[in-house]
């Protein structure tokens, strides 16, 4: 009788520990509890428990460009003119918004105290502000979505968009531990499609006839690239 009671008590303790350490128990042989992804190794287990840590203050330099945090002082009439240029915003939903100095300052402030980054792109030769990039991170899943606006049309068709895009993409995948970076654009935006494809991203989803551009229903294309560690 006593022996049976001890056996029941032991089973109860093991069950309680299993509930508290489910991932550790199942992670040993690569299995996972219902609702959790299959873990392939102890390295994956550690990565699952600890989302990547990173600094949201991104400063990068390339051959021709410098990317740095967008400051309140960068909200200038020239920057406002980028957002109000119908050619620049032709494929962007920014064309539906009314932009003012106050609204731009509020947008810049919205990147404080969160996981996201708003970057200014400067040309190194003449220090001209030529565009911006955004990084929206989801650290719980190890993902980031990036966006690009090359607002100064004098610098178009020089490969600068691809140069900036690659700098941020490689930084996120190689230095910040992000496992997947995504980006999207409308199908008619050939320049942006080329940037994503030439940077090694692959098409993973299409939302057919999802937005209207100049009265025509167009597809939205979503691209992604994984880190080499988890590809």
pLDDT at 109: 96
Cα separation, 16 vs 161, whole angstroms: 55
Per residue of the chain (231 residues), what is the pLDDT tens digit?
A: 444 544 444 444 434 443 333 322 222 233 333 333 443 443 443 444 455 556 677 899 999 999 999 999 999 999 999 999 999 999 999 999 999 999 999 999 999 989 999 999 999 999 999 999 999 999 999 999 999 999 999 999 999 999 999 999 999 999 998 999 999 999 999 999 999 999 999 999 999 999 999 999 999 999 999 997 444
pLDDT at 52: 56
CATH superfamily, with its number, for domain 51-226: Gcn5-related N-acetyltransferase (GNAT) (3.40.630.30)
HSE toward the beta carbon, residue 182, CA cutoff 13 A: 14
Which alpha helices (DSSP H) does the chain contain, by range? Answer: 2-20, 22-27, 42-49, 77-84, 101-109, 160-170, 190-198
Helix (H) or strand (E) holding 222: strand 216-226
pLDDT at 50: 52
Strands, E, within 37-179: which ranges? 60-61, 65-69, 117-123, 129-138, 143-149
């Amino acid at each position: 009788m006593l022996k049976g009671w001890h056996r029941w008590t032991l089973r109860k303790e093991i069950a309680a520990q299993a509930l508290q350490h489910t991932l550790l128990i199942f992670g040993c042989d690569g299995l996972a509890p219902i609702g959790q992804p299959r873990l392939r190794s102890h390295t994956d287990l550690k990565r699952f428990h600890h989302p990547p840590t990173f600094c949201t203050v991104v400063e990068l330099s390339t051959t021709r460009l410098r990317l740095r945090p967008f400051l309140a002082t960068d909200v200038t009439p020239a920057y406002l003119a980028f957002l109000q240029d119908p050619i620049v915003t032709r494929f962007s939903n920014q064309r539906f918004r009314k932009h003012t100095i106050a609204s731009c300052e509020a947008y810049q402030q919205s990147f404080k105290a969160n996981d996201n980054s708003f970057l200014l792109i400067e040309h190194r030769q003449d220090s001209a502000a030529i565009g911006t990039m955004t990084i929206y991170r989801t650290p719980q899943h190890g993902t980031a979505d990036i966006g690009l606006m090359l607002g100064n049309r004098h610098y178009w068709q020089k490969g600068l968009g691809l140069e900036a895009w690659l700098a941020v993409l490689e930084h996120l995948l190689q230095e910040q531990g992000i496992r997947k970076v995504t980006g999207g654009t409308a199908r008619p935006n050939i320049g942006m499609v080329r940037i994503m494809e030439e940077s090694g991203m692959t098409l993973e989803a299409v939302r057919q006839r999802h937005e209207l551009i100049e009265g025509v229903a167009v597809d939205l294309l979503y691209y992604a690239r994984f880190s080499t560690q988890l590809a």
